[in-house]
Chains A and B, each alone.
Chain A
Amino acid sequence: FTTFPGMPKWRKTHLTYRIMNYTPDLPRDAVDSAIEKALNVWKEVTPLTFSRTDEGEADIKISFAVRDHGDFNPFDGPGNVLGHAYPPGPGIYGDAHFDDDEQWTRDTSGTNLFLVAAHELGHSLGLFHSADPSALMYPVYNVLADLARFHLSQDDVNGIQSLYGRPPSDSSNDPVVPTESVPPGPGTPAACDPTLSFDAISTLRGEILFFKDRHFWRKSLRTLEPGFYLISSFWPSLPSGLDAAYEETSKDIVFIFKGNQFWAMKGTEVQAGYPKGIHTLGFPPTVRKIDAAVFDKEKKKTYFFVEDKYWRFDEKRQSMEPGFPKQIAEDFPGVDSKVNAAFEAFGFYYFFNGSSQLEFDPNAKKVTHVLKSNSWLNC
């Protein structure tokens, strides 16, 4: 890795960012989501935190432009230069510009905004280019075959931590997870068993938790290898053999379901008043358990899957929406079987049934990939 000459860096750990304008290629919330995810990549491995502002000055101003856009570094039309950014400092410094003559996409059919934004924001934080072809800060755009496998290289982590150090160890921001992983052995599920299926899956502060029996795998963007832990070492009051789990990201809460009960967890803390009965959410008495759940952060709704149907819960109103349940396949074409686990990442939904998983694009409203369930565990 390299840093800019003179090693400019931010002298504070809380930074503001502002999205000045939007590309016509994507819905605004897709741009918001890509930028937020790109900042999370660096937030995870440093003490840095970011908050968005929609007016006035900001440390990092993000904009889309074509050709000459007032900084003496004109863009060059489609292809070649995708974007550029300036090292930490006042005014234009710290800003990131994206060439709107590119076709910005959520996936890799065009130029993936999340990947390029994560790279350019690395510059905004003080990283220069890396000669490591596997590094995010390598100057040439490497189309990732599978966005879901994106993670920072050790070179990227070493570079940014040479500027800002490691993330604080306090638990208020990071889930406190026991340091030692559980060694695989008899009685523990094997990550690369081709028949492996999951009880429940949830994101948690940018990581993904895959629950199975008494254990869970914890997958982070910063490491290729997932950690493997006992549920009880993380959440002692929870049962094993869970049914469903989802993260309500705007509240930083993970909801965990088993049978006709559910719990609310913030990091490792069980929220007061839980467990509650699932019927307090508005399910009819005929529903005895949930199979899977996933939170739609753009619409602030949660989808609950039970057998071949699904319900939609309005997280803002805290009530089940009328007109449900509906057949799953009606609104998720191609998802024809029961869903026994689900989560959202990079703007896609991942639906699991037994040992296989469907990647579903909610905008195209179609299944875009069929994968093995354990494809996330670096098998």
Chain B
Amino acid sequence: YPVDRAAGDENNSMELIQQYLENYYNLGKDVKPFVRRRDSGPVVEKIREMQKFLGLEVTGKVDSDTLEMMRRPRCGVPDVGD
């Protein structure tokens, strides 16, 4: 089947989000892949934490502002944790 572009983009974004939260917000690597429709859980909590730290609207959802921020060049040192 032709690759469903939207699904492909969605997969990329989910991978980007998972990677970003693991790299900079101490999301455990064993946490289940990101489930978009849930309103709570570790990933949503980490999204909130990231949005708060970087001065974004804290929604717990991956809106375009949040995705855009994740794509901006940055320092490789984590934002929280040890």
Contacts and interface: CB of A to CB of B under 8 A. Distances in A.
B75 A81 contact: yes
B75 A129 contact: yes
Contacts of A75: 76
A141 B74 contact: yes
A128 interface: yes
Contacts of B55: 131, 133
Contacts of B79: 129, 139
Contact of A128 (B52, B71, B76, B77): B77
Interface in A122-155: 123, 128-129, 131, 133, 139-141
A26 B72 CA distance: 23
A83 B75 contact: yes
Contacts of B53: 129, 131
Contacts of A139: 24, 54, 74-75, 77, 79
Given A131-B54, A140-B54, A123 B69 contact: no
B82 interface: yes
B33 interface: no
Interface string A170-184: 000000000000000
Contacts of B82: 5
A84 B73 contact: no
A5 B77 CA distance: 13
A80 interface: yes
A141 B73 contact: yes
Contacts of B71: 80
A80 B77 contact: no
B54 A79 contact: no
Interface residues of B, number: 17
| Chain B interface, DSSP helix/strand/loop, else mixed | loop
Interface in A106-125: 111, 116, 119-120, 123
A73 interface: yes
A82 interface: yes
A119 B69 CA distance: 18
A81 B52 CA distance: 21
Contacts of A82: 73-76
A81 B54 contact: no
A80 B74 contact: yes
Interface in B1-58: 24, 52-55
A79 B76 CA distance: 11
A85 interface: yes
Interface string B60-78: 0000000001011111111
Contacts of B24: 139
Contacts of B54: 131, 133, 139-140
B6 to A, nearest CB: 23
Nearest to B16: A80
Nearest to A97: B76
Contacts of B72: 140-141
Contacts of B69: 140
Contacts of A73: 76
A224 B21 CA distance: 35
B75 A80 contact: no
Contacts of A133: 54-55
A140 B56 CA distance: 13
Contacts of A102: 73
Contact of B77 (A84, A111, A141): A84
Contacts of B76: 73, 75, 81-84, 99
B73 A120 contact: no
A111 B75 CA distance: 12
Interface string A34-75: 000000000000000000000000000000000000000101
Contacts of B73: 79-82, 102, 111, 140-141
B22 to A, nearest CB: 13
Given A79-B73, A81-B75, A139-B79, 8 more contacts: A80-B74, A82-B75, A120-B75, A129-B53, A129-B79, A131-B52, A139-B24, A139-B74
Q: A-B pairs with the 4 shortest C-beta distances?
A: A84-B76, A81-B76, A141-B73, A140-B74
16 contacts: A73-B76, A80-B73, A80-B74, A81-B73, A83-B76, A84-B75, A85-B77, A102-B73, A123-B75, A123-B77, A129-B77, A131-B52, A131-B53, A139-B24, A140-B74, A141-B74
